[in-house]
Structure 1
Amino acid sequence: MTLRLTGAAHRAFDGRPPAPADPYLVRIYSDMAQLYGTVFDQERFERANRNTFSDLARGLLDALPPQPDPFDLVVVASDVPDFEPRVSGVSYLTDALPGTPPGFALCDQGDAAPYTALRLAGQYAADGRAGRALVAVMDQTTTPANPGPPRQGEDARDGAAALLLSADGPGAPIGVRQYGGLTRADAHALLGEALPGGLGSLFVGGGLDPELVAVPSGVTVESAPGEFPCSGVWALLAERVPDLAGQRRPVVLADYVPQGTDEEKGGELCFCVVDFGAAAA
């Protein structure tokens, strides 16, 4: 059974009003830093946005139209775990969505996490266990260790994307593929070879250079905003769903996640085809 994309949303989140960091979290991260032989930067933590995954999930639901029908599955995908260990974005969504769906989180896969989440949701649907699913993708700038740009800085924002999926009814069929053991050059070549016929748009993450992908003429190519490394390509999709649906052509979203040096061929290519040309009304 193929999952279909029935809706999408993306929201950006600024920081909370200034407030002292929770002493409990400061103690936890100070102890962890000492354990790993580094130093916890409390000053940077004080300036951080401190939006939890539950905060991002709440904002996502506000950005979506009302969802009266029950859900069967929730998957939260992120590069790193929530900085706040006492709350759960998955549990928040499970309680907030109709049907009280089971849910779980995926992280520590870099920006490949959303693609893995979609594959897992698709397997649940194929097994007859998920007629409706929500995949939420989180970009959180508040981390206990220095995350490096663009996940830090005075102007850094958090971001989150929601993908509404259904095994029955209207929507555009989706398919996901992931290939490991690739150099960056390998990934660009393989992506160009795998693009479907009649492609309308290609959205790529920061790990890919669109100029190095062999794209047929007439295809619109866009790079995701760097401030949202994990949710950026899904933000492009969410912003353009009405136009893309009207064009009725396939759309590809792709990311390359380095997992070693090019000599080690440790990188992973992930891409998702959303076939608006085969969308059911």
Structure 2
Amino acid sequence: MTLRLSGAVHRAFTGRPPAPADPFLVRIYSDMAELYGTAFDQERFEHANRNTFTDMARVLLDALPPLTDPVDLVVVASAVPDFDPRQSAVSYLTDALPGTPVAFTLSDQGDAAPYTALRLAGQYATEGRTKQALITVVDQTTVPANPGPPRQGTDARDGAAALLLSAEGPGAPAGVRQYGGLTPEDAHALLREALPGGLSALLLGGGLDPERVTVPSGVAVEPASAEFPCSGVWGLLADRLPHFAGQRRPVVLADFVPQGTGEAKAGELSFCVVDFGSTRA
């Protein structure tokens, strides 16, 4: 069975109303900072967005069409862990969704995590273990144990995307590829060579420069906002899903996760071809 993209949403989240920081979390991060010889910035924590993965997953579910058929697989993909270890988005989703889904999280892969999630969902479907899957991709700026600014910038919002996959839908994210050990130049060259014919749009995440990827005339190249480094390209896909479905041409999403700095440092290229050419709805 081939999983198809039957729904997609993306939402941005601003900070919560001002409230004192949870004393339990303050103690956790104070102890953690001391253990690792750094400093806990409680003032920054007081003013952080503090949207948990569960908070964002709840909003995403409300934004999707009502789900009545059983969901077999749930994956929460993120570049950073949830700042509140007492909450579990996968546990919430398991309870909130119909069926008894297998559920797990993917992290420690940076912005490559959503691509790995799609690849795993496809494997589950190939083995006949999944007819409907939900993948959530989360960007969270509240990282209180790190005294440096969030990588998105100090005023960035949190963000999250949901991808609903089933047998029916306007597009099939069938071509997921991931390559490690690439320099930025190698990554751009490999992406150029891998672009399919008849391409409609190329959606680029962090680490990729639109000027370094040559595409045929008429192909839209759209960089995702740096505000959402993990969920950005999936947000572009969600926002333009009806347009892409109407064009019935392939769309490519890509991210490059550098490991270190400079052109000589290796990193990981992930890209996904979403085929809108054989629509089933």
TM-score tier after normalising by the smaller chain length: over 0.9
Asked whether the equivalents of residues 182 and 266 of structure 1 are also in contact (C-alpha less than 8 Å), the reply is yes
* 1:202 equivalenced with 2:194 (yes/no): no
- Output the CA distance in 2 between the equivalents of 1:234 and 1:147: 27
Asked whether the equivalents of residues 152 and 226 of structure 2 are also in contact (C-alpha less than 8 Å), the reply is no
Aligned position for 2:224: 224
Aligned position for 1:148: 149
Q: CA deviation at 1:151?
A: 3.3
Aligned position for 2:185: 185
Indicate how the Cα distance of structure 1 residues 141 and 149 shifts in structure 2: closer, same or farther if over 3 A, else same.
Answer: closer
Counterpart residue type for residue 272 of structure 2: C
Aligned position for 1:250: 250
Q: CA deviation at 1:243?
A: 0.7
Aligned position for 1:234: 234
Asked whether the equivalents of residues 33 and 40 of structure 1 are also in contact (C-alpha less than 8 Å), the reply is yes
Q: CA deviation at 1:152?
A: 4.4
Aligned position for 1:94: 94
Q: CA deviation at 1:127?
A: 1.1
Deviations 1:7-42 (A, max 9, x none): 100011111111111111111111111111100111
- Output the CA distance in 1 between the equivalents of 2:150 and 2:88: 25
Q: CA deviation at 1:119?
A: 0.6
SS in 2 for 1:81: coil
Aligned position for 1:169: 168
Asked whether the equivalents of residues 12 and 160 of structure 2 are also in contact (C-alpha less than 8 Å), the reply is yes
Asked whether the equivalents of residues 2 and 173 of structure 1 are also in contact (C-alpha less than 8 Å), the reply is yes
- Output the CA distance in 1 between the equivalents of 2:52 and 2:224: 23
Point out where structure 1 has 5 or more consecutive residues left out of the alignment: none
- Output the CA distance in 2 between the equivalents of 1:189 and 1:61: 38
Asked whether the equivalents of residues 4 and 165 of structure 1 are also in contact (C-alpha less than 8 Å), the reply is yes
Q: CA deviation at 1:150?
A: 4.3
Indicate how the Cα distance of structure 1 residues 247 and 263 shifts in structure 2: closer, same or farther if over 3 A, else same.
Answer: closer
Q: CA deviation at 1:265?
A: 4.3
Counterpart residue type for residue 11 of structure 1: R
Counterpart residue type for residue 149 of structure 2: G
Indicate how the Cα distance of structure 1 residues 19 and 152 shifts in structure 2: closer, same or farther if over 3 A, else same.
Answer: farther
- Output the CA distance in 2 between the equivalents of 1:152 and 1:142: 11
The number of equivalent residue pairs is 279
Indicate how the Cα distance of structure 1 residues 104 and 114 shifts in structure 2: closer, same or farther if over 3 A, else same.
Answer: same
Asked whether the equivalents of residues 150 and 156 of structure 1 are also in contact (C-alpha less than 8 Å), the reply is no
Identity rate, percent: 75
Q: CA deviation at 1:233?
A: 0.3
Asked whether the equivalents of residues 140 and 151 of structure 1 are also in contact (C-alpha less than 8 Å), the reply is no
Deviations 1:141-184 (A, max 9, x none): 1112145344342x321100000111x23431212100100000
Asked whether the equivalents of residues 26 and 42 of structure 1 are also in contact (C-alpha less than 8 Å), the reply is yes
- Output the CA distance in 2 between the equivalents of 1:136 and 1:280: 23
Runs of 4+ in 1 over 6 A off after TM superposition: none
Q: CA deviation at 1:106?
A: 0.5
- Output the CA distance in 1 between the equivalents of 2:64 and 2:211: 34
Counterpart residue type for residue 151 of structure 1: Q
Counterpart residue type for residue 185 of structure 1: E
Asked whether the equivalents of residues 233 and 253 of structure 2 are also in contact (C-alpha less than 8 Å), the reply is yes
Asked whether the equivalents of residues 38 and 147 of structure 2 are also in contact (C-alpha less than 8 Å), the reply is no
Instruction: Give the structure-1-normalised TM-score.
Output: 0.96
Counterpart residue type for residue 171 of structure 1: P
Deviations 1:38-77 (A, max 9, x none): 0011110010011110000001011111111110000000
- Output the CA distance in 1 between the equivalents of 2:160 and 2:241: 16
Asked whether the equivalents of residues 135 and 163 of structure 1 are also in contact (C-alpha less than 8 Å), the reply is yes
Q: How does 1:1-281 map to 2 (within 5 A)?
A: 1-144=1-144, 145-146=146-147, 148-153=149-154, 155-166=155-166, 168-174=167-173, 175-262=175-262, 265-281=265-281
- Output the CA distance in 2 between the equivalents of 1:147 and 1:217: 42
Cα root mean square deviation, aligned: 1.3
- Output the CA distance in 2 between the equivalents of 1:53 and 1:262: 32
Asked whether the equivalents of residues 204 and 223 of structure 1 are also in contact (C-alpha less than 8 Å), the reply is yes
Counterpart residue type for residue 79 of structure 2: D
Deviations 1:213-251 (A, max 9, x none): 021111001000110010000000000000110000000
